[in-house]
Structure 1
Amino acid sequence: MRFLTQKLLALAAFAAPAFAGEIAKPSTDSTDNFQRFSAVPVLGYTEETQYQFGAMAIIFFKPEFEGGKASELDLSFYGTSRKQVTGSISPKFYLLNDRISGNVELHYEDWVGNYFARKNNPDIDDYRKFDRQTFYLKTHINTNFGTKQWHPDFKYGLFFEFNSTNIDFNNYHYHGSIEEPENTDGWRNGIGYHLSIDTRDNTNWARHGYLVQWGHYFYNKGLGDYSYTHQELDIRGYSEFIWNTSMAVGFLWQRVDGNAPFDKLAGSDGLKRFRGVEKNYFYGEQAMFLQVEFRKKLFWRLAGDIFFEGGKTGDYFSDLMRNKWHRSLGFGGRFALNKKENLYARCELSWVDFKNVGMTMYVRDAF
């Protein structure tokens, strides 16, 4: 997301309450002090949305066994002073003694977006506005049935997405040279698989271990309106650092082949991979991201982080290798929604390409 310098004070004033405290204090019982519920307001300001107003809430469910992982139900809704609206319901579950896990995301948004054209180095001040209405249901399911005996950390699973999107460029006047993309509206329905080796000690804030995951997702006109494939390799490592600080290192490579809509190509997402820019600020058929982050708990429910990110895109591998890196340096504050589960909401500022300031608010870590 893009920010003007004169708005930084307003941004800080309106973003701070999101980390001021929990709306509902966690309920406890006399035996295990299990936290049932947590919520925070969404209050912020960005150049893309202007003022944001809403709330996020998480309901926690007791693990099936001692030391097991807690299932969750995530709820979020917010609107903006630019008449943008978004909401989501997302259960995250662990079943059969954590042998099956996954998440489901039901999401709707009526949004105003900016199209910067398909390139690695766009002009941040040259874009076409569009209206987007999106509804999607997305599911990831993982299991280690049949593999636990020979590799307990190996998992495999399925991916499903049902996505209906309508995009309209006609409501805004534009006098530049950026042409409208060809592929916009329609159903983007797909199915795929992923394979992973996951030794992380915690899926929210990991302090030890690593994750290596390969995903291959297929979208076909037999299911929707587009035919393309999406491949990605996600590698992450975690370790302890000095002064009780944890260090996280991430690498992501993405590739999209076929007749994909412009908003489904490989590129920045603005929340987890290259924070502080709008979704698909830079994008192409392939994308690569490198991330390093240092996280530290401070006191009470507060924590902080500093990070460095690099990212670039290209339409084929040699193009990707030639293109210049986008770079981002940033820091943020965190508020613990559930200390036992190491679940934090975060608010971060980014210095994008050492020229523009961006902001990100999200629940859970970027990687």
Structure 2
Amino acid sequence: MRFLTKKLLALAAFAAPTFAGVEADSTDDFQRFSAVPIIGYTEETKYQFGAMAIIFFRPEFEGGNATELDLSFYGTTRKQVTGSISPKFYFLKDQISGELDLHYDNWVGNYFGRGNNPDIDDFRKFDRRTFYLTSLTESNFGTKQWLKDFRYGLFFEINYTDIDLNRYHYHGNLNRPENTDGWRNGIGYHLSMDTRDNTNWARHGYLVQWGHYFYNKGMGDYSYTHQELDVRGYTEFIWNTSMAVGLLWQRVDGNAPFDKLAGSDGLKRFRGVEKNYFYGNQAMFLQMEFRKKLFWRLAGDIFFEGGKTGDYFSDLMRNKWHRSLGFGGRLALNQKENLYARCEFSWVDFKNIGMTMYVRDAF
């Protein structure tokens, strides 16, 4: 079965040491950087080898958010390579915030066909090369006095993708996906209401955000829109455990490439599967997670997730849920900022085992 982890080598990523640095001539404990190796194994990637590092910059004021620069790179024995540079920034006493993601993939992937009920053993193998730059910048100028937790922002994406479906022989019944190669460039707006006490590991508050993004042939090769409603809540639970719940709804209209439709991403929403294992014009995800700090730099979590897709809202409501139950371990990269790397195992649809490695929480 796919996603069944034959070797639990991912545990080495958390057994390996984390390297952290502080200012040598400072009397406080502000952490300047953190780094951790990536050593793992999944059915999608086979063996993984690489590293991730984060550089932290001192906040502008006491209690403010720290600007970060995330760097990661790893390759696999399945001839997959990925790398990213992702700064998260805060300016003018946190009145302006944002994040960039400069990303490159040279990836071997699998296409399971469109719909909510894929056959996990029937897929078309392909090669994909992707380069993209995404940016989201938010502010509370003009709104802070009367709605202090409200922020508005601008989103844009520059994306070029080349997908080769001819390199590998396929003898099944899946049709080739339409709309694969080319530029996917878009712009849109983003609104949010955020009362969380921490943007990495929140223990109180809520986040409600709405995004509406427009992709047009005047900017690239495709014309479509992407809408997204993301609702999250956080509270304390028994035994000093924090509980997080989340709901995500996505809708894509127009002539979108198959890999840009609404569906599972395998990292944050419905962990433990390949990206777009199930997908369509609309998707919905429900999540619940319990997180607890243990000792030293270690923490753990257990979670439940449900997800489904459909081409129309009535189709979405009628389709059956995919379900996943899982647990994971976490290693603190910056304890003061509550920033953790995580490795998690999922029991997908109570049939298959999947594994996820990522920095920061899923939601």
For 1:314 and 1:113, locate their aligned partners in 2 and report how far apart those are by CA, in whole Å: 22
Q: Is residue 2:130 matched to residue 1:134? A: yes
Following superposition, the deviation at residue 22 of structure 1 comes to 4.0
Q: Is the 8 A contact 2:197 2:204 kept in 1?
A: yes
Structure 2 counterpart of 1:3: 3
Structure 1 counterpart of 2:163: 167
For 1:2 and 1:359, locate their aligned partners in 2 and report how far apart those are by CA, in whole Å: 11
Following superposition, the deviation at residue 17 of structure 1 comes to 2.2
Selected match of 1:24 from 4, 14, 19 = 19
Cα deviation code 1:130-179 (max 9, x no counterpart): 00000000001110000001000000000010000000100000011001
Selected match of 2:320 from 324, 328, 336 = 324
Q: Is residue 2:258 matched to residue 1:274? A: no
Cα deviation code 1:293-330 (max 9, x no counterpart): 00000011000000000000000000000000000000
Structure 2 counterpart of 1:84: 80
For 1:300 and 1:113, locate their aligned partners in 2 and report how far apart those are by CA, in whole Å: 37
Q: Is the 8 A contact 1:2 1:278 kept in 2?
A: no
Structure 1 counterpart of 2:110: 114
Structure 2 counterpart of 1:151: 147
The alignment covers a number of residue pairs equal to 362
User: For residues 191-202 of structure 1, what are the structure 2 equivalents within 5 Å?
Assistant: 191-202=187-198
Cα deviation code 1:18-72 (max 9, x no counterpart): 1225443322443221100101111011111111100000000000011111000
Q: Is the 8 A contact 1:159 1:192 kept in 2?
A: yes
Q: Is the 8 A contact 1:2 1:46 kept in 2?
A: no
For 1:108, what is the secondary structure of its paired residue? strand
TM-score by length of 2: 0.98
For 2:257 and 2:176, locate their aligned partners in 1 and report how far apart those are by CA, in whole Å: 12
Structure 1 counterpart of 2:226: 230
CA RMSD after TM alignment: 1.0
In 2 relative to 1, CA 38–21 (structure 1 residues): closer, same or farther, beyond 3 Å?
farther
For 1:36, what is the secondary structure of its paired residue? strand
For 1:345 and 1:307, locate their aligned partners in 2 and report how far apart those are by CA, in whole Å: 16
For 2:202 and 2:231, locate their aligned partners in 1 and report how far apart those are by CA, in whole Å: 14
Give the unaligned 5+ runs of structure 1: none
User: For residues 286-301 of structure 1, what are the structure 2 equivalents within 5 Å?
Assistant: 286-301=282-297
For 1:163 and 1:202, locate their aligned partners in 2 and report how far apart those are by CA, in whole Å: 31
For 1:175, what is the secondary structure of its paired residue? coil
In 2 relative to 1, CA 223–261 (structure 1 residues): closer, same or farther, beyond 3 Å?
same
In the TM superposition, structure 1's runs of 4+ consecutive aligned residues that sit over 4 Å from their partners are: none
For 2:19 and 2:294, locate their aligned partners in 1 and report how far apart those are by CA, in whole Å: 22
Give the unaligned 5+ runs of structure 2: none
For 1:67 and 1:48, locate their aligned partners in 2 and report how far apart those are by CA, in whole Å: 41
The percent identity for this pair of structures is 83
Q: Is the 8 A contact 1:251 1:289 kept in 2?
A: yes
For 1:226 and 1:292, locate their aligned partners in 2 and report how far apart those are by CA, in whole Å: 35
For 1:225 and 1:248, locate their aligned partners in 2 and report how far apart those are by CA, in whole Å: 39
Q: Is residue 2:87 matched to residue 1:124? A: no
TM-score by length of 1: 0.97
For 2:61, what is the secondary structure of its paired residue? coil
Structure 2 counterpart of 1:15: 10
Following superposition, the deviation at residue 263 of structure 1 comes to 0.1
Structure 1 counterpart of 2:212: 216
For 1:295, what is the secondary structure of its paired residue? strand
Structure 1 counterpart of 2:69: 73
The letter of the residue matching 2:266 is G
Structure 1 counterpart of 2:254: 258
Structure 2 counterpart of 1:340: 336
Selected match of 2:34 from 20, 31, 38 = 38
